[in-house]
Structure 1
Amino acid sequence: MLPLVIQKIIQQNILLDDLSDQALADFCQAANLAYRSGAPLISDQDYDFIYLAELKKRQPQHALLQSIEPEGKAFSEEKVLLPEVMLSTDKAYSWQEMLKWIERIQKSCIEINLSIKEVQIKATPKLDGFAGYDDGLHLYTRGDGKKGSDITRVFERGLQVFNDSSRGQGAGEIVVKKSYFEQHLADNFEHPRNFQASLIKEKALDQPAKQAIVDKAALFVPFLQLPVWSGSIDELKGDFEKITQDVLAMVDFDVDGVVFELTHQALKAHMGANRKFHKWQIAFKENKDKAQVRVLGVTAQVGRTGKITPVAELEPTQLSGATIMRASGHHYGLVKEQGLGAGSIIELTRSGLVIPKINRVLKSAPIDIPEHCPSCDSKLVWQADFLICVNRVNCPAQVVGKMEYFFKILANNDGFGIATIEKLYEQGIRQISQIYALNESDFSAMGFGDKTSANLVNQLQRSIQEQIEDWRFLAAFGINRMGMGNCENLLKSHSITAIFSLNKDQVASINGFAQLSAQLVVDGLKDIQNEFDQIFGYGFNLEMTSLQKNSAALSHELFGKKIVFTGKMSNPRAQMKKQAKAMGIQILSSVTSKTDYLIVGENVGQNKIETAQNFNIKIIKEADYINIIA
């Protein structure tokens, strides 16, 4: 039985604005697991454009958004390492977001001295099936992107590869033909994912599934076998809408978008990837639901960093299955430029990273720009398009926001949502370290019930005892320009206790940091050091990614160098990476211009060799590498 709040969301008996952050996050996780298990709770469109996008707006650092979305509990098999990491795909929900991706491509071309005219884009349908990886011997689910379940039984049951092609073509998806599903399966299965799940689960196949396999309606489709549109960036810009519609109609499978990606190997290598997706690839998914809405007023909202966000209060409007009453105005620069105020008319959509999203102001109205912070009454200052409250220490909204953010990013505790943090603030709590010093009696004296007080203390201990990554712990302090990715990069080079002594040049020398961001990092670390020392002293169970710079590490020529492993190694790859980090070597996931060495084993793909040669990167055989670090 689903929790009551989740049932209400599914039945649309609760407004999105009335959902707490925790309830929203719980629902997104439940909806994702149900979707991966083949029993969706809501439509894919509502998940993407309403609930997941709202989660991105409220909790951009939530764990669900920072890593590959987990698969459903239906896959109970022991997880095994995938032959190749399977990342997710970044998403664009409008042509404006596609243009930003193209701008990043153009910038990367300049960085490697490549003419934009040489760049080709290919587009393929984005299948809505079960992602898997076929190495020719085994078929694996995508899992968390690094480890998945072995479901080779699907091929043993007779499943064929699309286009009658061979096995071993890598990543792809298990799907069923849309026309076949509608004709033969729709009466027995609510959604194609329900049917696809029946193919994969351990239980014996029922007759409809067996017949679909015999009829070659259920298939494994390698991405390499998908039909392709290809052309230049100018061609893509000139006919984007037609290209998108043509690609969506290329296959007789359920699709939920179009995947665009680069084909130039050196450019792909230079753009690289983060922990979740390749930067040279993007999926376009469009929600066309729009409405013209009257603005009743604009409210100033203070974020934890001091930015003042204008929030448009709207006439209640039905859009994509939800009643919308508020929408972010992004920043006060937009308010001034477009005349966003009480009485203005806006075009509203549920598309994009901010949900709901104001596309444009159709009719301007008189505006009201606040001069003082609505939380602390400090005088506001302009920084580019943003109004900022610079009272970082004593502004109630910023103090509460930072404390709530800490527990949200740790993501290993319950109970410390906004309501709890606001109540603690009313009782004089201003620092995270003060919260960890509280006991049950303290909580009770502040007005919390006995059971709640005991639970809060237990959750504090849980957050200390449950192992978390050191970069996640550092990111929870909310330093400017130090999201989880940058924290991880920093801690690949220096231990978490050593980073406070770094100067700007030392930070700037680390992959991913420029001079400007390096100074902000140094200043931010200085600001949090006392608070960090107190909280760190509680003995958090941190999984360290920092390097151990001992005398042996300092003596070899690869110390401090950036390397990439490729090919089949004589030792487990994970073990080699761990050893390399301990020896002071930085591990990269792909070959870029910043790579120093490519370490090659057996059966190496020619693409990586060519990319390394294009960047004049030294190539070292595994045996020689082992001799160097020995």
Structure 2
Amino acid sequence: MFSDSHRQILDQANLNFSADQLARVTELLANQALINAAGDEDLIAALEVANALYRAGAPIVSDADYDFVYLNELKRRQPEHPLLHEVEPEPVFAGKTVDLPVVMLSTDKAYSREDIERWAARIEKAAADIGEDFRALTFKVTPKLDGYAAYDDGQLLYTRGDGRKGQDITRVFERGLQVAGQGARGLGAGEIVVGRRYFDENLAQHFDNPRNFQASVIKEKELEEHALKAIADHAAVFFPFALLPHWSGPWSELIADFEAIVQDIWHKVDYDVDGVILEITDEPLKQYLGATRHHHRWQIAYKENLATANVKVVSVTPQTSRSGRITPVAELEPTRLSGALLSRATAHHYKMVVDKGIGPGALIRLARSGEVIPKIEEVLEPAEPEVPAHCPSCGHELIWDNDYLICPNNLACPAQISNSMEHFFRVLKNNDGFGAATIKKLYEYGIRRVDEIYALSAEQFESMGFGPKQSQNLVEQLSRSRSEAVEDWRFLAAFGVFRMGLGNCERLLAHYQLDQIFGLSEADIVAIEGFAEKTAAVISEGFANIKDLYEKLTGLGFNLQASQRKGDSSAHPLSGKTLVFTGTLHSGSRDDLAKQAKAKGAKVGSSVSAKTDYLVAGDNVGANKTAAARDKGVTVIDEAEFLQLLNGDVE
């Protein structure tokens, strides 16, 4: 099933599988009927292989099968897996790996008018939060190009990579590639695309599909004559999103003529298009909405819905995700929908199960749109729900957290162990190489704790199937993660204690030293602003669970920076003030300047509100943003004024 070129792509993507596992992946990708019996590791490997080949221009399964069959199954089993919530990684081509000028994320998806209306409702609520008039907002609709994502800053052209780091592929412009419509360089994000008609008439006999051609343009190898001709004919171009044809107007006009606008924009260009992009253009609101690790909240892709069916629920099975959430999976009477035989659908969370009556015998309306998993659109005939009291993986008592049932036993629950190890390295952020694929392989060889990973030698990594160079690099990265300075609150957050994310860890360690947390009572925790009484007991239990691992890891000599302030900083001009940074800063990164401000007792926010004291405006900040801040009573200062405040130099 895999050609030599396929294997080369997998090597570039650092997907090194044993011969046995590669054989299982081959079988799984060739025969969808085997997916139910496949192990988690093989399913994830199959997705990683399919994604790498697709993004390198050599797809081995169709988009529909990837979404509906394989991603569907992963979402059912592990709804919090990074493949579902982070930017899908691209294979590494020849070229220097560099930081992207801006973060390039994926796009959230919607498959019905109702999904779009719910997105707009979230936009409206956010607008109200910052005092903006939703009715005056401008919405923009553009075609969703199905090409090869890249970013042009005017000097370099970058691949999207993992959304934060990509490769320098400026060579494609040196080969003669032009910006669409004779546009200028430096217009930011866009896609390398080839005209549909041109491809069919001139390239189809040389390339399996347009994506295969687009990937070939990027690679280091010298291009063949027909590819160079496509570039010379301007049939293949870099199309910046800023130059795409678009519709713009207020929400009232968009929703009133939604179907016509979508159809018109969908067919505006002679390139492969797989939907339309809807977004708002208001910069302060975009900044306020922000993004997840996967997508911007101010933007959404619309794809057409396909089909529904009325189906009986046979049973509801609880499954523990790697984040500890218990996902209810509705087992259904087998139903064929949009070409696939479906027997399961997620119910998202147990509050939905309870509120809607999703139990054995319930009749539901099932939709298989463009989504990665069949969706329960409506419960037509409710039934008595069954709610578990204990984790199906480890037997620990479950707790409610808003809509979700949670297993808080994160360090001893088998379903959560791999995620706990991956989470540690991901949050620490001072290492490379310990992503999902590496952790998966270590798990297969019996590694169950982070301290066991730090004890591995290069020889042991090699014995587990890693290459000699990769093994040595992993050992060096483990050493790096111990020697590079890391904030104590980030180190604590890496242990994944329930309800102890980065913000809560930083808040707690502003009051107590790191090694004091194991002696804190529930009352001590509740006394700190931002900690609720109902979670204090769970946090205390979580600290007790990590104590042994914490002591083993700190014994390895991590370079931890204490965040508890020394002495009294209450007299400092920044003490108790809330700051927001924006624009281009020159005296340090935003993270560095935020750390310095926090050391003086300041709070640092991500968006301006009426509670913000200072907006620190660097270069390239629009007048609308600073005016909006002043309207809220916020003092706008430049970088030099901030540094004066930081140094206590005030008149």
1:107: Cα distance to partner? Answer: 1.7
Question: Judging changes above 3 Å, is the alpha-carbon distance between structure 1 residues 177 and 544 closer, same or farther for their aligned structure 2 residues?
Answer: farther
Matched, 1:134 2:152: yes
Structure 1, residues 228-277: CA drift from partner, whole Å, max 9, x if none? 22233333444433333332222222222222111233322332334443
Give the alignment of 1:317-356 within 5 angstroms. 317-319=335-337, 323-330=341-348, 340=358, 346-351=364-369, 355-356=373-374
1:199: Cα distance to partner? Answer: 1.5
| Partner SS state of residue 274, structure 2 | strand
User: Does structure 2 retain, via aligned residues, the 8 Å contact 1:91–1:285?
Assistant: yes
Q: Residue 46 of structure 2 corresponds to which residue in structure 1?
A: 27
| Partner SS state of residue 256, structure 1 | strand
Q: Residue 56 of structure 2 corresponds to which residue in structure 1?
A: 37
One-letter code aligned to 2:550:
F
TM-score, normalising length: structure 2: 0.74
Q: Residue 90 of structure 1 corresponds to which residue in structure 2?
A: 108
Q: Residue 619 of structure 1 corresponds to which residue in structure 2?
A: 636
Question: Judging changes above 3 Å, is the alpha-carbon distance between structure 1 residues 490 and 45 closer, same or farther for their aligned structure 2 residues?
Answer: farther
- In structure 2, how many angstroms separate the alpha carbons of the residues matched to 1:549 and 1:189? 62
Q: Residue 262 of structure 2 corresponds to which residue in structure 1?
A: 244
Q: Extract unaligned runs of 5+ from structure 2.
A: 8-21, 426-433, 457-462, 465-470
Please point out which of 170, 173, 185 is paired with 2:188.
170
Matched, 1:199 2:214: no
Matched, 1:267 2:285: yes
- In structure 1, how many angstroms separate the alpha carbons of the residues matched to 2:561 and 2:296? 22
Structure 1, residues 66-119: CA drift from partner, whole Å, max 9, x if none? 543322122x32222333333333333444433332222222232223333222
Matched, 1:18 2:37: yes
Question: Judging changes above 3 Å, is the alpha-carbon distance between structure 1 residues 43 and 29 closer, same or farther for their aligned structure 2 residues?
Answer: same
Question: Judging changes above 3 Å, is the alpha-carbon distance between structure 1 residues 598 and 338 closer, same or farther for their aligned structure 2 residues?
Answer: closer
- In structure 1, how many angstroms separate the alpha carbons of the residues matched to 2:360 and 2:166? 52
| Partner SS state of residue 198, structure 1 | helix
Give the alignment of 1:242-391 within 5 angstroms. 242-286=260-304, 288-295=306-313, 297-301=314-318, 303=320, 310-319=328-337, 323-330=341-348, 340=358, 346-351=364-369, 355-361=373-379, 364=381, 367=384, 369=386
1:309: Cα distance to partner? Answer: 5.5
User: Does structure 1 retain, via aligned residues, the 8 Å contact 2:362–2:382?
Assistant: yes
Question: Judging changes above 3 Å, is the alpha-carbon distance between structure 1 residues 63 and 329 closer, same or farther for their aligned structure 2 residues?
Answer: closer
Q: Extract unaligned runs of 5+ from structure 1.
A: 425-431, 441-450, 453-457, 509-516
Matched, 1:149 2:167: yes
User: Does structure 2 retain, via aligned residues, the 8 Å contact 1:316–1:325?
Assistant: yes
- In structure 2, how many angstroms separate the alpha carbons of the residues matched to 1:172 and 1:350? 30
- In structure 1, how many angstroms separate the alpha carbons of the residues matched to 2:36 and 2:66? 16
Question: Judging changes above 3 Å, is the alpha-carbon distance between structure 1 residues 563 and 5 closer, same or farther for their aligned structure 2 residues?
Answer: same
| Partner SS state of residue 113, structure 1 | coil
Structure 1, residues 334-389: CA drift from partner, whole Å, max 9, x if none? 66776655565544334477723223345x48656469769699999999988x69
1:406: Cα distance to partner? Answer: 2.8
- In structure 1, how many angstroms separate the alpha carbons of the residues matched to 2:509 and 2:399? 36
One-letter code aligned to 1:240:
F
Structure 1, residues 150-190: CA drift from partner, whole Å, max 9, x if none? 22222222222222222222222221122222222122111
User: Does structure 1 retain, via aligned residues, the 8 Å contact 2:311–2:366?
Assistant: yes
One-letter code aligned to 1:621:
D
One-letter code aligned to 2:87:
I
Question: Judging changes above 3 Å, is the alpha-carbon distance between structure 1 residues 179 and 415 closer, same or farther for their aligned structure 2 residues?
Answer: closer
| Partner SS state of residue 539, structure 1 | helix
Please point out which of 545, 549, 552 is paired with 1:538.
552
1:289: Cα distance to partner? Answer: 4.8
- In structure 2, how many angstroms separate the alpha carbons of the residues matched to 1:209 and 1:236? 40
Matched, 1:526 2:540: yes
1:478: Cα distance to partner? Answer: 5.1
- In structure 1, how many angstroms separate the alpha carbons of the residues matched to 2:174 and 2:595? 36
Please point out which of 577, 584, 587 is paired with 1:567.
584
- In structure 1, how many angstroms separate the alpha carbons of the residues matched to 2:509 and 2:245? 40
Question: Judging changes above 3 Å, is the alpha-carbon distance between structure 1 residues 340 and 176 closer, same or farther for their aligned structure 2 residues?
Answer: same
- In structure 1, how many angstroms separate the alpha carbons of the residues matched to 2:360 and 2:567? 67
Shifted more, 337-346 versus 319-328: the winner is 337-346
Q: Residue 183 of structure 1 corresponds to which residue in structure 2?
A: 201
Please point out which of 87, 97, 102 is paired with 1:68.
87
1:534: Cα distance to partner? Answer: 1.9
1:196: Cα distance to partner? Answer: 1.0
1:555: Cα distance to partner? Answer: 6.7
Question: Judging changes above 3 Å, is the alpha-carbon distance between structure 1 residues 154 and 554 closer, same or farther for their aligned structure 2 residues?
Answer: farther
User: Does structure 2 retain, via aligned residues, the 8 Å contact 1:134–1:168?
Assistant: yes
- In structure 2, how many angstroms separate the alpha carbons of the residues matched to 1:7 and 1:247? 39
Question: Judging changes above 3 Å, is the alpha-carbon distance between structure 1 residues 334 and 69 closer, same or farther for their aligned structure 2 residues?
Answer: closer
- In structure 1, how many angstroms separate the alpha carbons of the residues matched to 2:398 and 2:597? 49
Question: Judging changes above 3 Å, is the alpha-carbon distance between structure 1 residues 306 and 9 closer, same or farther for their aligned structure 2 residues?
Answer: closer
User: Does structure 1 retain, via aligned residues, the 8 Å contact 2:316–2:360?
Assistant: no
Question: Judging changes above 3 Å, is the alpha-carbon distance between structure 1 residues 519 and 153 closer, same or farther for their aligned structure 2 residues?
Answer: farther
| Partner SS state of residue 537, structure 1 | helix
1:292: Cα distance to partner? Answer: 4.7
One-letter code aligned to 1:100:
R
- In structure 1, how many angstroms separate the alpha carbons of the residues matched to 2:332 and 2:192? 43
| Partner SS state of residue 86, structure 1 | coil
Give the alignment of 1:390-469 within 5 angstroms. 399-401=413-415, 403=417, 405-407=419-421, 409-410=423-424, 412=434, 413-414=439-440, 467=481
- In structure 1, how many angstroms separate the alpha carbons of the residues matched to 2:99 and 2:396? 54
TM-score, normalising length: structure 1: 0.77
User: Does structure 1 retain, via aligned residues, the 8 Å contact 2:347–2:353?
Assistant: yes
Matched, 1:210 2:228: yes
- In structure 1, how many angstroms separate the alpha carbons of the residues matched to 2:108 and 2:516? 31
Question: Judging changes above 3 Å, is the alpha-carbon distance between structure 1 residues 158 and 588 closer, same or farther for their aligned structure 2 residues?
Answer: farther
Question: Judging changes above 3 Å, is the alpha-carbon distance between structure 1 residues 45 and 336 closer, same or farther for their aligned structure 2 residues?
Answer: same
Question: Judging changes above 3 Å, is the alpha-carbon distance between structure 1 residues 379 and 405 closer, same or farther for their aligned structure 2 residues?
Answer: closer
- In structure 1, how many angstroms separate the alpha carbons of the residues matched to 2:34 and 2:351? 29
| Partner SS state of residue 253, structure 1 | coil
| Partner SS state of residue 581, structure 2 | strand
Structure 1, residues 291-332: CA drift from partner, whole Å, max 9, x if none? 55454x214426479987653333444556654332234456
| Partner SS state of residue 202, structure 1 | coil
One-letter code aligned to 2:638:
K
- In structure 1, how many angstroms separate the alpha carbons of the residues matched to 2:538 and 2:150? 42
1:7: Cα distance to partner? Answer: 1.6
Shifted more, 494-503 versus 618-627: the winner is 494-503
One-letter code aligned to 1:529:
F
Give the alignment of 1:589-608 within 5 angstroms. 595-608=612-625
- In structure 1, how many angstroms separate the alpha carbons of the residues matched to 2:357 and 2:619? 62
User: Does structure 1 retain, via aligned residues, the 8 Å contact 2:32–2:69?
Assistant: no
Give the alignment of 1:494-509 within 5 angstroms. 497=514, 500=517, 503-504=525-526, 506-508=528-530
Q: Residue 514 of structure 1 corresponds to which residue in structure 2?
A: none
Question: Judging changes above 3 Å, is the alpha-carbon distance between structure 1 residues 316 and 550 closer, same or farther for their aligned structure 2 residues?
Answer: same
| Partner SS state of residue 553, structure 2 | coil
- In structure 1, how many angstroms separate the alpha carbons of the residues matched to 2:181 and 2:566? 55
Q: Give the number of aligned pairs.
A: 585
